Structure 1
Amino acid sequence: GSSNNTKTEPEFEGRVSLLEPDLKKKCSIIINDLTKSDSGSYHAVAKTKTHCTLIANITVTLSEKPTLEIPEITEGEQTTLTCSAPGLCSGSTPNITWIWSGSGQNFYEIKENNIEFQSEDMPAFNSTLTFNASTKHNGGQVTCKVTFKNVKTNETKTLNVKYAPKDMSANISSNIVKEGESVSFTCSAKGQPEPTFTWTKDGRDLDSKANWMISSITASQNGSYICKAVNKYGSIDLYLYCALFLYNNTAGSC
């Protein structure tokens, strides 16, 4: 129809236009500055002098939150986070801000980010944040804050940094014992994912738990013990040299 027959609802005033206004018999439209209230069913109707024909029925669901993509993060490697603003094909360029909060730290904004418009299969405004990952980032929260002309929204996720076992410690309950007494072994290490533990002596596996016990020690069990912590990203060993001093009635040494 002519422009005289065009009527725009007040809530769409100034935000709706024909996608290809110069082409006849084309009725694609573009809605700028989307808000969640624009969600719903849209109908395209062909009108003649005598009747109307429904030619399209489309349901649109909008999210007010941005999409925050976090890949697998490994210590020592460069990592790029991507935040996509909600509202595809929006007519307004959004302001995208990254906010970081580490354990026990105040929130602070990160200025070094890049905002770009991508128009391949899914047009969207994206912001990327690139950094070298370390264990200090593990457990921290990163927030992507998006501000349109009439929308403010954000998405927050917790970072999970993968790293090899470190900060290892191993101990025994006592290094001076009598034969027949019990001895406890403990081992710990930090890692992501949590490491598994193996105790060995003279190349022989003894136990696959971090903490274990010999209920009745014998002279043959005197010597050096090794605790090994392992995960997908590496391993670490800790030796306990001459860990046990055995005696019957008199003290002995390794």
Structure 2
Amino acid sequence: MKSIFLVKYPSHSFISIMLECCNCCVVVVAMVMSVRMAPPLPVIFLLMIHNVFSEGWGVSYSSSHICALKTSSVIMSCTYTYPTGYKIEKVFWTKNPIKGENPPVLSDDPEYSQRLQYLGDKQQNCTIRLSHVTQNDQHMYCFRFISDKPDGKWLGEPGVNLTVTDLQVEAPERVTEGHNVRLTCKSSCALTDRATFIWYRNSQPLTERRDRNNQLLLQSVRREDAGRYSCALHGHTYISPAAQLNVTYPPKNVSVSISPSVIVEGDSVTLICSSDSNPPAEISWFKERMFVESGRIYSISKISSDHSEEYKCKSRNKHGEKYSAGVNLNVTYPPRNVSVSINGSGVIVEGDSVTLICSSDSNPPALNFSWFKENQSSAVGSGQSFSALQSGRFYCEAHNQHGSQRSEAVTVTVHHGAGRNVIVIAATSGGLFITIIIIIIIIWFIMKQRCVKTEDNRVKQISDPGEDTYTALELKSTTSDLYDTLTTVRPRPPEDS
């Protein structure tokens, strides 16, 4: 339908207006001309009005395009007009109308019946609310009203184009500790509603980060900032899929753990190096500053006391390296190399005793010692030392919490002679030299005793009063040098007559 109107103004000009109905817009072209036929000065106005009007019939939408967030509710506001004398009997919304076909009633569609709510009336308001929108709801929606007269039908084309979007977090693949990082909450279209963004880390809201900006700025990022980030709009239940923020940093908190905690010789032992680092660190093991192995775990099977050293590990990645504190590998074992030693020379006078001492190699050190005499079932003493008073073969047993071991037996011999008891200790093994020395001392002692006795007899013979030759000698006053020159003179036997 085309209409031409001529309007005369007091300024001796006129406006030629041509209205062309395009079923969706009104195009107004105005040409101002002077009545004096002066050179034309054109002024052209192109006015796009989102209304659908024709002779009083029309539908006006508040927005021709709506970008809505997934799962949110959408309000499509509109008003409609019709000529006086008509009564509206039916109003409804439809989607994707096809020219020449009766448009379907949207509220009759099972996909919309529970989600569509008509908020308008049958006079002028045609607003609706569509809740829990999904991407399947992306269509062109139009309002349709029907009056009580055969020619009183109207479809408001074009209608409202609905786009449904979700949210996506855009984050860098990785960031190094101490740097700044910016995360962006993106949508496929510009949201119609004014949006206030909320950020989450590991599903926990970052309440301090609530603003209208769709970006999250983390300054001097720390390793604690690593996690799964998602975003949402304030007042909406929809939360975006999470994006992982990967913060890289050098090794920290490097430590060594040992399993089991109590290590007995012969056990299998596992040392584990733990470190907090990103990316994961390479592990090296050191024993007394000497490189041993590589890898986070170097199990030791059938461990022995030779492994009792200080161990530490080094954790290293491209950002740096760090050593753990040193740990001592304490290997425990039962007593071994148990032996008996002698305290003193082994030569005693009658009534004295000789002390035997029990020693052993063990971890933890042996604290319990028992003494036994061979051929006797019960112990004859306890403690690390034992005083032997009688002849026999004696041995000791050393005990700790992991076991016990007995020593070789030693022989204790008591000799009686010269009014004294001489105790001789002869070791059954490894004591031959000591035994020989003791025997030599005993022989020397016996010979000395005999020598003294011989000298006494010799002096007695010299001082016999029956011998006239030496009666005048005072032996008590004679010096030892003079005495040493004297020889024994025996009486000459009488000559045969």
Tell me the residue number matched to 2:63: 15
Say whether residues 1:65 and 2:150 are aligned partners.
Answer: no
Which digits, 9 at most, give the CA deviation of each residue in 1:210-238, with x for residues without a partner? 23321133565443322122344333211
Q: 2:67 is aligned with what amino acid? A: L
- Spell out the pairing of 1:169-208 with structure 2 (5 A cutoff): 169-172=255-258, 173=260, 178=265, 180-201=266-287, 202-208=289-295
Tell me the residue number matched to 1:33: 66
Distance 2:318 2:139 in 1: 45
| CA apart distance, 1:145 | 2.2
Q: Tell me, what secondary structure is at the counterpart of 1:136?
A: helix
Say whether residues 1:110 and 2:127 are aligned partners.
Answer: no
CA contact (8 A) 1:222 1:246 kept: no
Distance 1:163 1:12 in 2: 59
CA contact (8 A) 1:33 1:87 kept: no
Q: 2:21 is aligned with what amino acid? A: N
- Structure 2-normalised TM-score? 0.33
Tell me the residue number matched to 1:137: 225
Tell me the residue number matched to 1:94: 194
CA contact (8 A) 2:253 2:275 kept: yes
| CA apart distance, 1:69 | 0.6
Tell me the residue number matched to 1:51: none
| CA apart distance, 1:65 | 1.0
Closer/same/farther in 2, CA of residues 175 and 145 from structure 1, 3 Å limit: closer
Which digits, 9 at most, give the CA deviation of each residue in 1:32-66, with x for residues without a partner? 433454469xxxxxxxxxxxxxxxxxxx9955112
Q: Tell me, what secondary structure is at the counterpart of 2:165?
A: coil
CA contact (8 A) 1:94 1:147 kept: no
Distance 2:271 2:59 in 1: 71
Tell me the residue number matched to 1:155: 240
- Segments of structure 1 that go 5 or more residues without pairing to the other structure are 17-31, 41-59, 116-126
| CA apart distance, 1:4 | 0.4
Please provide the CA RMSD for this pair: 4.2
Closer/same/farther in 2, CA of residues 241 and 87 from structure 1, 3 Å limit: closer
Tell me the residue number matched to 2:21: 4
Distance 1:203 1:138 in 2: 36
CA contact (8 A) 1:135 1:161 kept: yes
Tell me the residue number matched to 2:115: none
**1:225 aligned residue (305, 311, 315):** 311
Tell me the residue number matched to 1:211: 297
Distance 1:182 1:153 in 2: 54
- Segments of structure 2 that go 5 or more residues without pairing to the other structure are 3-18, 25-50, 53-57, 69-134, 141-160, 337-360, 365-497
Q: 2:223 is aligned with what amino acid? A: T
Distance 2:182 2:279 in 1: 21
Equivalent pairs counted in the alignment come to: 199
CA contact (8 A) 1:174 1:183 kept: no
Tell me the residue number matched to 1:75: 177
Closer/same/farther in 2, CA of residues 6 and 167 from structure 1, 3 Å limit: same
**1:128 aligned residue (215, 218, 227):** 215
Distance 1:110 1:62 in 2: 31
Which digits, 9 at most, give the CA deviation of each residue in 1:187-246, with x for residues without a partner? 2223334444332334324241x2332113356544332212234433321142543468
Closer/same/farther in 2, CA of residues 155 and 194 from structure 1, 3 Å limit: same
Which digits, 9 at most, give the CA deviation of each residue in 1:54-106, with x for residues without a partner? xxxxxx99551123111123333221111223315x6x463131233458xx5
CA contact (8 A) 1:199 1:205 kept: yes
CA contact (8 A) 1:98 1:110 kept: no
Distance 1:214 1:77 in 2: 42
| CA apart distance, 1:129 | 1.4
Distance 2:248 2:60 in 1: 48
Q: 1:198 is aligned with what amino acid? A: S
Distance 1:174 1:183 in 2: 9
Q: 1:238 is aligned with what amino acid? A: S
Distance 1:5 1:152 in 2: 41
Q: Tell me, what secondary structure is at the counterpart of 2:66?
A: coil
Tell me the residue number matched to 1:240: 326
Closer/same/farther in 2, CA of residues 134 and 65 from structure 1, 3 Å limit: same
CA contact (8 A) 2:307 2:331 kept: no
